[in-house]
């Protein structure tokens, strides 16, 4: 499995590309933008974006979809299909998302938004805006923050400590780091 | 590509290290492995897709190298010259980094979180979107560096130089900061938030 990250200046968001060792069908996670740099990355690696996973439908994570779909014949997966124009397929915790040779476990982590999910594959956790290095996603109300913290505790903190975290914004992290240093998680436990 | 293969020893949850099927603590001859890795990284210009967690590196010249998608978590890195390196996606979390120089380096998406960083020099570097959460950092210079969107949340920073740095979107919430030098840096663009103690 090959794995690459791409930073979008437009929304200061991260997008991730998971592909096979050689040329073939790849999975793009949260295309907040689809620009020349991302296209060059995909093409240089001889990959074809056959699948897209969306952690939640906010602009910074889906804005690249329209351009992407003009270039690649792709299947999109997200938690709440009604929030996107081109209807994607619904994901949920009841079954993993199969993207060709890759199988992603889905963790439902509502709080930042009602449709927030994380995707886990081979020890790599794509957290969208639910959890980032030393922080958690923004929430509109105290209830939503409590919901988000509860989601993180139940779904994410119960994973193995060496899971690597790749958030929608900011630098990567590791579960052990967040357990030990994330002030939101330390204060509320 | 991270080679995230779990250690072959039953019950062990650590990842296997580069060129072995076990983690570092289960290698039969760690000293020989250290030597093998020293030779390997000395003779190549690009270090990529390596898991070298728990390794001990000292007295090495890695200046000018490309380091891509590597894991050196819990490593001990002492007196290593990393000047002018280009680093992309590196995990050196919980490492002990002493007396190392990263001057004029270009570092993106590196994870130093939980590390002990002492007497290191990052002067004149691009250190963008890097994770320094929970680091214990002493007697270290970041002067004249671009620290855009890096995070020092819950870190302990003592006698650390941030002179003439770009601190846009840099986060210091809950950091314990003493004798730090922020002269000529745009501290107004950084987030010291709640809980940051500046002594």
Model confidence pLDDT, tens digit, residues A146-167? 999 999 999 999 998 889 999 9
In the predicted structure, residue A2 carries a pLDDT above the cut 90:
no
* CB contacts, 8 Å: A183 with chain B: 153-154, 173-174, 195
What confidence tens digit (pLDDT) does each residue in B19-28 have?
Answer: 888 888 889 8
* d(CA A82, nearest CA chain B) in Å: 33
Share of chain B above pLDDT 70, in %: 95
Mutate to test the interface with B, among A2, A133, A136, A138 (most CBs of B within 10 A): A133
Q: Which residue in A53, A95, A47, A89 sits closest to A71, CA to CA?
A: A47
Cβ contacts of residue B114 below 8 Å, gap of 6+? A176, A177, A180, A181, B93, B94, B133, B134, B135
Is B91 in the A-facing interface, judged by CB distances under 8 Å?
yes
Q: Which residue in B89, B67, A172, A173 sits closest to B80, CA to CA?
A: B67
Pick from A11-15, A151-155, B102-106, B138-142: least confident: A11-15
Output B5 or B88, whichever has higher pLDDT.
Answer: B88
Q: What is the mean pLDDT of chain A?
A: 92
Instruction: Return the DSSP state at A153.
Output: I
What confidence tens digit (pLDDT) does each residue in B155-183 have?
Answer: 999 999 999 999 999 999 999 999 999 99
Q: What's the rounded Cα separation, in Å, for the pair B129 and B136?
A: 18
CB distance B151–A5 less than 8 Å? no
Is B111 in the A-facing interface, judged by CB distances under 8 Å?
yes
Q: Is the pTM of this model over 0.80?
A: yes
Output B199 or B110, whichever has higher pLDDT.
Answer: B110
Structure-block tokens of residue B123? 């002067």
pLDDT band at A187 (very low <50, low <70, confident <90, very high): low
Is B70 in the A-facing interface, judged by CB distances under 8 Å?
no
Q: Which residue in A41, A48, A8, A11 sits closest to A27, CA to CA?
A: A48
Output B50 or B194, whichever has higher pLDDT.
Answer: B50
pLDDT band at B198 (very low <50, low <70, confident <90, very high): low
What confidence tens digit (pLDDT) does each residue in A9-51 have?
Answer: 888 899 999 999 899 999 999 999 999 999 999 999 999 999 9
In the predicted structure, residue A118 carries a pLDDT above the cut 60:
yes
In the predicted structure, residue B199 carries a pLDDT above the cut 60:
no
């Amino acid at each position: 499995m090959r794995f690459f990250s791409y930073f979008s200046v437009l929304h200061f968001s991260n997008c991730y590309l998971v592909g096979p060792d050689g040329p073939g069908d790849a999975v793009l996670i949260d295309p907040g933008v689809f620009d020349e740099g991302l296209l060059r990355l995909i093409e240089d690696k001889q990959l074809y974006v056959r699948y897209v996973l969306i952690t939640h439908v906010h602009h910074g994570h889906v804005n690249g979809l329209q351009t992407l779909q003009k270039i690649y014949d792709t299947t999109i997966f997200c938690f709440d299909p009604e929030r996107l124009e081109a209807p994607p397929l619904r994901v949920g915790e009841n079954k993993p998302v199969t993207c060709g040779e890759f199988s992603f476990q889905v963790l439902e982590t509502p709080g930042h938004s009602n449709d927030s999910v994380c995707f886990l594959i081979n020890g790599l956790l794509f957290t969208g805006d639910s959890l980032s290095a030393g922080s958690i996603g923004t929430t509109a109300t105290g209830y939503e923050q409590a919901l988000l913290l509860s989601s993180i505790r139940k779904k994410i903190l119960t994973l193995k400590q060496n899971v690597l975290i790749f958030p929608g914004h900011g630098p990567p992290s590791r579960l052990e780091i967040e357990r030990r240093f994330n002030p939101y998680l330390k204060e509320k436990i | 590509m991270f080679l995230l293969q779990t250690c072959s020893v039953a019950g062990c949850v650590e990842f296997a290290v580069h060129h072995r099927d076990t983690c570092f603590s289960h290698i039969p001859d760690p000293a020989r492995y250290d030597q093998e890795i020293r030779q390997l990284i000395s003779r190549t210009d690009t270090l990529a897709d390596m898991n070298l967690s728990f390794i001990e590196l000292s007295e090495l010249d890695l200046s000018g190298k490309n380091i891509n998608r590597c894991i050196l978590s819990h490593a001990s890195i002492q007196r290593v010259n990393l000047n002018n390196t280009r680093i992309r996606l590196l995990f050196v979390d919980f490492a002990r980094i002493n007396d190392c120089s990263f001057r004029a380096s270009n570092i993106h998406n590196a994870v130093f979180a939980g590390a002990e960083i002492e007497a290191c020099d990052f002067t004149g570097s691009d250190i963008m979107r890097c994770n320094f959460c929970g680091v214990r950092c002493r007697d270290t210079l970041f002067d004249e560096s671009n620290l855009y969107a890096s995070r020092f949340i819950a870190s302990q920073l003592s006698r650390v130089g941030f002179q003439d740095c770009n601190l846009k979107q840099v986060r210091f919430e809950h950091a314990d900061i003493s004798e730090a030098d922020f002269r000529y840096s745009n501290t107004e663009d950084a987030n010291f938030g709640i809980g940051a103690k500046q002594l």
